[in-house]
Amino acid sequence: MARIFLSHSGGDEDICKFFLQIGGLAGVEIKAMEFENIEAPPWEYIRNQLLISDTFFVLLGRNVIDRGIYTQNWISFEVGMACEMARTLMKEVWVFEPLQYNVKFPVPFLNHYVLYDMNERTHMDYIRAIMEGYKPALLFMRRIPQGITDVKCPHDNCRVVFRLHTDVKEFYCPACRQGIKLI
């Protein structure tokens, strides 16, 4: 069974429930730390959960900012750990952000960026396909959707490269939060 680690704000219950529901439909195991009693020290438990996960999802919602520095620091810690695991263990970091929000929380490292609308069935189906893509298939090849295009942030202070999975012409870079216009 595929295992996905969710990094999120506990205040964004609607977003987290949305992803947990899709994970149930996709037949994958979701680890969402906010809803569990975790062993102390928490950093060690989280690191171990990341190690045994197939991939890492960062769920941006308005409460990432509203919940304050404590939540932001833990998400940053998880992203940093996931970045190292992406480099050494070939794990991927996905950033998901609702289309209706511009969450001013930079995620300095990512492989994939998905803007979505929880009320759009096609978006839910696409996220489900991403999750299902982490399930072992024939010859252990993954079947993850390829997305729209590779993007390199045009801003000199960023230049992060990621795969965009939503057909949009303008959006904010998930790494530096500066505007990007696709030609």
Please give the residue range of the domain that contains residue 164: 3-181
pLDDT of residue 133 exceeding 90: yes
97: tokens are 């952000």
Domain count, the chain: 1
In this prediction, residue 140 carries a pLDDT of: 60
For residue 67, give the CATH number of its domain.
Answer: 3.40.50.2300
Question: Would you place residue 139 in the very low, low, confident or very high pLDDT band (cuts 50, 70, 90)?
Answer: very low
Instruction: Please give the Cα distance from 83 to 176 (Å, whole number).
Output: 16
| Count of other CB atoms within 10 angstroms of residue 178 | 13
The pLDDT > 70 percentage for the chain reads 95
φ, ψ for residue 24, nearest 5 deg? -65, -40
pTM score of the predicted model: 0.93
Q: What is the pLDDT of residues 54-111, one digit of tens each?
A: 999 999 999 998 888 988 999 999 999 999 998 888 899 999 999 998 999 999 999 9
Question: Any idea how long the chain is?
Answer: 183
In this prediction, residue 143 carries a pLDDT of: 80
Those residues whose C-beta lies under 8 Å from the C-beta of residue 80, and which sit 6 or more positions away, are: none
Instruction: Please give the Cα distance from 148 to 74 (Å, whole number).
Output: 30
Instruction: Please give the Cα distance from 71 to 125 (Å, whole number).
Output: 29
* Inter-residue contact 18 to 118 (CB < 8 Å): yes
Q: Which one of 36-40, 41-45, 63-67, 129-133 scores highest in mean pLDDT?
A: 129-133
In this prediction, residue 57 carries a pLDDT of: 97
Q: What is the pLDDT of residues 148-163, one digit of tens each?
A: 999 999 999 999 999 9
Give the distance, in angstroms, between the CA of residue 151 and the centroid of all CA atoms in the same chain.
Answer: 17
